[in-house]
Amino acid sequence: MNKQPIIFCDFDGTITKSDNILSIMKHFAPPEWEALKDGVISQNISVKEGVSKMFSLLPSTLKEDIIQYVKEIGVLRSGFAEFITYTKEQNIPLYIVSGGIDFFVYPILDSYIDRDHIYCNASDFSGETINIIWPHSCDKDCSNDCGCCKPSILRKFDSEHYEKIVIGDSITDLQAAKIADRVYARDFLIQKCEELQIPYTPFERFTEIIQDLKGVGIK
């Protein structure tokens, strides 16, 4: 019996053209955010800790301004709407797996995909500054302190039943790519796949992914 294809697609830098958390911080945060970003990049602090501390620099009253800003700058990658249509027509389950935060991820995706198919981090605006909540933390097999743990999400789906397809662009997609059956990569994820000899297909537009899926008999 053929396995059911299922797609796990990253958000920042994959669906959107740029990284929304970095854009938000550049625009709204005081200069201290830069040291936190550098700490995450050099892996001195975890993604979870870095993102928590960055958002704690922002007053909760900025919520609507941030949403508005992300909507203005949030250009979607070419072919995404067609990709959504294709997966619906073919009954391929599509999940968004994102290290982004619900309050800006949901508004951008609302016209494309149901919220129950989006895994991302959550937020609390009841305090003075923005508090990030982590509903999808690492399971016992991951010790990266990911925040939104992509490999843990993939493991929730039975590998006997599903052909798992990962689409992503960066280091935060790597652990998921390692355990996927098929990988579509761009940007830094290509470099990491090359280094670690993980088979992948490069893409720039979602229409290229549609063509490739049709070519391997997923149509």
Nearer to Mg ion, 4 or 146 (CB): 146
Choose the contact partner of 142 out of Zn ion, Mg ion, none; CB within 5 to 8 A by kind: Zn ion
Length of the chain counted residue by residue: 219
97 near Zn ion (CB under 5 A): no
In angstroms, rounded to a whole number, what is the distance separating the alpha carbons of residues 154 and 7? 10
Report the 3 state secondary structure along 29-57.
CCCCHHHHHHHHHCCCCCHHHHHHHHHCC
Nearest residue (beta carbon) to Mg ion: 13
Task: Say how many Å lie between the first and final Cα of the chain, rounded.
Answer: 16
Residue 198 in tokens: 């993980």
Q: Which stretch binds Zn ion (CB under 5 A): 15-23, 69-77, 89-97, 143-151?
A: 143-151
Stretch that binds Mg ion, among 20-28, 119-127, 164-172, 184-192 (CB under 5 A): 164-172
Minimum CB distance to Mg ion, residue 75 (Å): 14
Give CA–CA dist 197/181, Å, rounded.
Answer: 14
Residue choice 6, 47, 146, 183 for contact with Zn ion (CB under 5 A): 146
Q: Answer yes or no whether residue 98 interacts with Mg ion by CB under 5 A.
A: no
| Tokens (6 digits) for 4 | 């059911």
Contact status: 138 vs Mg ion (CB under 5 A): no
Q: Assess 10 for contact with Mg ion (CB under 5 A).
A: yes
